[in-house]
A = this chain, B = another copy of it.
């Protein structure tokens, strides 16, 4: 893999100067065109110690219009990062559409270090690399350009370079390993790097291996690669679907016989009229809330985070159910994220970005009043996004939630369902109550007309995104008290179980 980086390529001063003059003009043109076209650009600068990654970044920042370029390094983590899924820090730093983020090491540094130091074995590494492929594919599907450069040196060249660095005043390389040890480590490093580079060398985000012995060759080549990456993206017509995987097409409903007994869905199986008496309700509610209050404090002390998702038909009682949870959990420990129209900063990122923003710190709870499922519900039904986008979203959502649960976050999702008649009664009641009138809009009535389309979308969502670790709970909502108790029992139970496992 790295033989091409040990050839001894270089660039004379004069050739470099001519090259760069031309390159800068073209890079700027490409940068402005990409800005115009809202293409987000990721530049990943990785490679060996001593290869001069910092120098490359300085050159790029000098050549480009610095106002559209951000540089990010991911190393000494803060406690805000430490207790969230690893990807959170990358999402936090992602470029807006039309901008360029240069990632030092990017998402590759951590796996490289873990494997090189022996903290991970090959299986751990492969799993992390699979995750990286998924992340990159997702970003590319969203229109991003990812340019990945790997800077390499021969053993001799690296040794020479590190010695030189040690002599300078910038003293991070004072202690080189002994000669024999150095060669051994060089080979082990190259082995790990080889595995990483090979298995993430994917079609639309290939690695470029760059010989780093000669500074001028290294920087000019990087510039050319970046230029080509942007130009390629500009050439692709924006309408072309970027999927390299088939989105799921086996939409069950379309294959089903028309007879109602053959079309029974998950939703139909819920007995919506389950109810609970008022006195019974008071007693249970109080006990559950008291327990939840304590569990939330214990979760806090153990850095155990929780994500609750509330979706449901209009007027199904999401708000009331959420309030029964927030009444119990100390307000210092939870945040309610009410998902409405995205801001322009949010629109300028992948659609999952605005949910990553609300992923809770260690030990806290985030409650989503509507969520990332909007993509496969309202956006699908109303045609706000393309078919390719929402079909792809199942995979992206499953992957997102898997990252949460693998990081130890409790994820519980609630679908609140009421009957069509009950909805009508509630709509009318809202219109009759002054302080509830704001809750009911023309849009609600319009949505009601699409009851069946929503039903189909919900059924498919439930089928495709129910995971053992991040389950959907269908809540029978005709009786509000029953629904609230259900939700509280599930949340409390999930925390109780998770704390038992942890303890």
Residues of A bordering B, CB below 8 Å:
21, 24-25, 27-28, 32, 54, 57-58, 61-63, 65-67, 70-71, 73, 75, 78-80, 104, 168-172, 290-291, 293-294, 297, 319, 322-323, 326-327, 330-332, 335-336, 338, 340, 343-345, 361, 369, 434-435, 438
Residues of B within 8 A of A61 (CB): 323, 326, 336
Q: Are B345 and A169 interface neighbours, CB within 8 A?
A: no
Given contacts A323-B62, A330-B54, contact A294 B169 (CB under 8 A): yes
The contact of A361 among B32, B78, B172, B331, by CB within 8 Å, is B78
Extra pairs beyond A61-B326, A67-B369, A78-B79 (8, CB < 8 Å): A28-B438, A61-B336, A66-B322, A71-B336, A78-B78, A79-B80, A169-B291, A170-B294
Report how many copies the assembly holds. Answer: 2
Select which of B75, B171, B290, B338 is within 8 A of A169 by beta carbon. Answer: B290
Q: How far does the alpha carbon of A297 sit from the alpha carbon of B171 in the complex, in Å?
A: 10
| Cβ–Cβ contact A327 & B294, under 8 A | no
Question: How far, in Å, is A408 (CB) from chain B's closest CB?
Answer: 18
**Cβ contact within 8 Å between B78 and A369:** no
B170/A293 in contact, CB under 8 A: yes
Check if B294 sits within 8 Å of A171, measured CB to CB: yes
Give the CA-CA distance A21 to B344 in the complex, in Å.
Answer: 37
Q: Is there contact, CB below 8 Å, between B330 and A58?
A: no
Selected contact of A290 from candidates B170, B290, B323, CB within 8 Å: B170
Q: How far is the CA of A323 from the CA of B61 in the complex (A)?
A: 9
Which residues of chain B are near A172, meaning CB under 8 Å? 297
14 examples of A-B residue contacts, CB within 8 angstroms: A25-B434, A28-B435, A54-B330, A61-B323, A66-B319, A67-B340, A70-B335, A78-B79, A104-B331, A169-B291, A170-B290, A171-B294, A172-B297, A343-B345
